[in-house]
Amino acid sequence: MSLSRRQVRLRREYLYRRSLEGREKEVYEKKRKVAEALAAGKPIPTELRDEEAELRRLDELDPSRGGPLNRAPGMLDDEYARSLTGERQAKVCVSTSRDPSSRLKQFAKELKHMLPNSTRVNRGNARVSALVEATRRGEFTDLILVHETRGQPDGLVVCHLPLGPTTYFTLENCVLRHDVDTPPKYSSDIAPHLIFHDFDETKPLARRLKTVLTCLFPVPKSEGHERLCTFYNAEDRISFRHHAASREGKEVELKELGPRFEMRPYMIKLGTLDQADADVEWVLRPYMNSAKKII
């Protein structure tokens, strides 16, 4: 099933806005450097002296006009902006690769119970394009596909709807809920509190992955901490843990609910899962294995 003309047009318009955003960011950085130099009484950077007059005329450099000098561009055109502001509540569809094993089905079922306001769909013989179109019509915010090798879950794909992006992860050391020692019962209606540890907020990839994972969950209520989902970054591998919390006086007891697994991102595409020719925003290269931390 091919994309409708409307989806193609919307995607083209979105990519055009992103290209404008890149140029706006470059101008923003120049204006920021000039503003910092003026505030500190330092000389204008050499590479910006020819553009100084033009940059200083812009509204962002005039505090009396209330220009958004401290606001970096991009948020208004962010695919997740509506989700981050609470305007669009998370609604996730969980499915599998074709002909899944019983273990993969169980893993998809546990993901469904872990994610509030989610639905598990049996894939059957449906093509990826048909699955994406069906979830788009159902007004889902995200589509999750899990894959396996010899009965062991080893891949997870998060496709944000309606226009993307699509994030690809490998899975390792997957332990299902029924393999955890006496896991307590829990309700999928309770939105968990999310903990992100050791995500370097100064790195665009870390911010991107944190947004992708955060927007799979609805905003939790502030008065309770019944469930906790932890994403722990260690050597660019994200360890996921799922706990139930109970409080007795000042003591807090944690019990693991499951599932647990390690995930490693290897590609982000600026499109949906059915768009093979979508632009690649980021991809893991072999030489990155020995580089510094990327998340």
- 248-266 pLDDT, tens digit per residue, is 878 888 889 889 999 999 9
pLDDT at residue 22, as a whole number: 62
Q: Which two tokens stand for residue 27?
A: 């101008």
Whether the pLDDT of residue 104 is over 60: the answer is yes
Strand partners for 237: 234
> So what's the pLDDT on residue 290?
56
Whether the pLDDT of residue 29 is over 80: the answer is no
pLDDT at 4 over 90: no
Report pLDDT for 245: 84
**What Rg, from alpha-carbon coordinates, does the chain have?**
22
CA 268/CA 281 separation, integer angstroms: 5
The mean pLDDT value of the chain amounts to 82
Read off the pLDDT of each residue in 232-250 and give the average, rounded to a whole number: 89
Kindly indicate the confidence band of residue 184, based on its pLDDT and cuts at 50, 70 and 90.
low
Q: Could you give the percent of the chain with pLDDT greater than 90?
A: 43
What is the average per-residue pLDDT within 131-158?
95
Confidence of residue 170 (pLDDT cuts 50, 70, 90): very high
Q: Specify the DSSP element, H or E, that contains 84.
A: helix 81-84
Lowest mean pLDDT among 37-41, 72-76, 164-168: 72-76
Burial class (CB in 10 A: 0-12, 13-18, 19+), 245: middle
Give residues with Cβ within 8 angstroms of 251, minimum separation 6. none
User: What is the model's pLDDT at position 62?
Assistant: 43
Q: Quickly count: other Cβ atoms within 10 Å of residue 278's Cβ.
A: 18
How many angstroms separate the CA atoms of 50 and 30, rounded? Answer: 12
Lowest mean pLDDT among 91-100, 168-177, 242-251, 259-268: 242-251
DSSP state of 121: -
Res 3: pLDDT: 55
The reported pLDDT for the residue numbered 69 is: 35
Can you say how many angstroms the Cα of residue 145 is from the centroid of all Cα atoms in its chain?
Answer: 15
